[in-house]
Structure 1
């Protein structure tokens, strides 16, 4: 086993909690770099890391494994188009959008396609894709993708915006030209210093890999980069983190969209009572006799309110109202029975509250009902790694890879 100092280094430079990807993943990355550098052992490699910043980046490249696809969680893209629509007609400056991390380009290119199909001219928006991995950025700029990048139920966008190249698809230049890629580490003190504020920031499924302190630092960076009335799109399990750091839900179901929380208005001072000498005397109401008793009337009890539907459960989770969401989810399951969707929401609620055992139990129930539920597989694998069960986490990861590899 590789010494923990390598995991500590990755934590310092990129905020990565090694337990969440598996210590064995860090071990494999270090071993691979020792072989690539033709060094005798990890002591020699550690010495190289202290002297060569470029090798630190090479280690980061080896650890980072992109996991993304086009129009992943499509409600986020729909929310962006809906909330930004007024700016298309009012002559506002071009829309500024940040995708962080942009990975191999699927997310920022999905943003571009969504806007173009909503009628936005290419000159009316600017998209920056930023990632810590130069390797991922090289693939993003190349713009050629295999079938694993196309997992959405509706693949009509692929016919409209891609050209087949042997067994892959090349993105058309009209979309590629809408995105500007750059390498960057959001935890660097000077990250995007001096950049104009962004109207929309996509930062999804990144915070879950940070510990609590690093999550706070990361959300502070997002707040600095976001325009005062801007929109932040987060991941399913990150709503609690974002809500706890000064953001409020945009109230769009399943989009996990947030805005800066408004500062509470200062409380108004209570009016001073009038001096006693100026107070008007109170008039006494006339005394009346009690009315004769009426015959008792049987009052029927009102029907209980309907159990909350899945849409309202997503809204509660999206807004960070976790305790209310948990109660509503229990009511829904008692009334309608356990479904894969309801149990998935229950798992995400527990995940956001830090209840790892409850979340894992819910995800396992989802997989009992729907063995191919990709989100449940991914979230359960992440939890198992966090708990140190890397063997079962690896099995789930391979299962997800086999499953997504079947997508045509």
Structure 2
């Protein structure tokens, strides 16, 4: 086994990182960067320093983990969270809601959560957010609360006018929002993560599990379930939904939010993972009318690292896809699927058809029609071989079916596209 392979194995054991998921080249570049910084003659010399120099392993983590995030990146999930939180807060007039965000990176997600809850009418005194990340560098940037234009990639940007002050260096976050968030360093692979904390009403862990190997994914889901209250909600990324379903977590029935709850104590995991044919999903909790901003264009959530330009459709079918996504967001899965199929019948292989086929795949996936979801994602990839959302969705389906090698190849394709785009 080469020294480089030993380093990859060490990263996998310590932080759960599957080098194949991000591409071995990313680890190699990080090792070269750190070797140069500590003046190591070669990889073997760096391996010796890695074990003998205090703080060097954390420095390697900082070099490997490159944050890719922005404010309101997962807007549909955040707006749903705001409505759920308002319902829970107004039903219980005393208890403060607890929210967990991990990995929180440079703070965009937990601060977006805070803004979404404030916009939903939840008083600041009624909620607190714990934000966890393995990167000390990212946490330091989050504590500064100052952001450049790259942190505001998706519209609408009305929240920026309400919660930021423009300055020569960028945008400074309102101290009222920063006060809602407690920033902590931690590692999801650690089974004792936040062991002394009570469970949370809402947990956000989006687009992290896809970087873990299968055994670490299962252990991570168990940790996330432990950190979620019995009646709480766990939000994950679109390519991770199948991982939760396979371990008995239950989707709440709001498509495109990828929110899950724990099973009823009376239900067995097998019955949840494989419900009887024709069984209907329980209706989601009633959502109150709350003062949230107008619903934006909803689309399949972007894969990690996806450039903003690739997830904000500029083609002629964007408004139709937004209308279909709005139907799905209201739980009208069959109607949304029919409308999406009608659109596909009309546009065929026209520009933008890959996005429509991906949307159809998401709708099939949400309704439990695995074979149809497979076919839709593959059609999207036939039209656009670099369509990242479809690559990640299809990889998740293959993982669920045990084809881990096939899933890995799809994720590597997505990562190659990301690296090519970023140069």
TM-score by length of 1: 0.75
* Residue 190 of structure 1, CA deviation: 2.1
Matches of 1:315 and 1:363 in 2, distance apart? 27
1:25 aligns with 2:32: no
Q: Residues 290-346 of structure 1: CA distance to partner in whole angstroms, max 9, x if unpaired?
A: xxxxxxxxxxxxxxxxxxx6567678999xxxxx9xx98996676455534432235
| 2: CA distance, partners of 1:389 / 1:251 | 27
Q: Give the equivalent residue in structure 2 for 1:12.
A: 13
- Cα gap change, 1:122/1:312 in structure 2, threshold over 3 Å: closer, same or farther? closer
Match of 1:258 among 253, 257, 260: 260
Q: Which residue of 2 aligns with 1:146?
A: 148
Q: Alpha carbons of 1:388 and 1:254: their partners in 2 closer, same or farther (altered >3 Å)?
A: closer
Equivalent position of 2:132 in the other structure: 130
> 1:59 maps to what in 2?
60
Q: CA deviation at 1:27?
A: 0.4
Q: CA deviation at 1:2?
A: 6.3
Residues 1:387 and 2:388 are matched in the alignment: no
Determine the structure 1 residue equivalent to 2:358.
344
In the alignment, what sits opposite 1:276?
Answer: none
Q: Distance in 2 between matches of 1:128 and 1:392?
A: 31
Task: Give the 3 Å change call, closer, same or farther, for CA 262–332 of structure 1 in structure 2.
Answer: farther
Deviation at 1:376, TM superposition (A): 6.2
User: Which of 242, 247, 250 lines up with 1:245 in the alignment?
Assistant: 247
- Change in Cα spacing, 1:174 to 1:213, as seen in structure 2 (3 Å) is same
Matches within 5 A, 1:73-222: 73-89=74-90, 90-166=92-168, 168-222=170-224
User: Could you tell me whether the CA contact under 8 Å between 2:26 and 2:64 is conserved in 1?
Assistant: yes
**Matched length:** 351
Q: Distance in 2 between matches of 1:188 and 1:214?
A: 10
The yes-or-no answer on 1:235 pairing with 2:237 is: yes
The more displaced of 341-350 and 96-105 is: 341-350
In 1, are the aligned partners of 2:391 and 2:411 still within 8 Å (CA)?
Answer: no
Say whether the 8 Å CA contact 1:207–1:215 is kept in structure 2.
Answer: yes
Give the deviation of 1:104 after TM superposition: 0.6
Q: Secondary structure in 2 aligned to 1:3? A: helix
CA contact (8 A) 1:253 1:311 kept: no
Q: Distance in 2 between matches of 1:200 and 1:381?
A: 26
* 1:337-369, Cα deviation, whole Å (9 max, x unpaired): 55344322356678x97999985762462579x
C-alpha contact 1:384 1:392 (8 A) present in aligned 2: no
Residue in 2 that maps onto 1:287: none
CA positional deviation for 1:153: 1.7
Distance 1:381 1:52, change over 3 A: farther
Structure 2: unaligned runs, 5 residues or longer = 269-323, 397-404
Shift of 1:384: 11
Cα displacement (A) at 1:394: 4.2
Structure 1 residues 200 and 390, CA gap change in structure 2 (3 angstroms): closer
Aligned residue for 2:55, secondary structure, equals helix
- Unpaired runs of 5+ residues, structure 1, are 267-308, 319-323, 403-408
How far the C-alpha of 1:264 sits from its partner, in A, is: 3.4
RMSD: 3.9
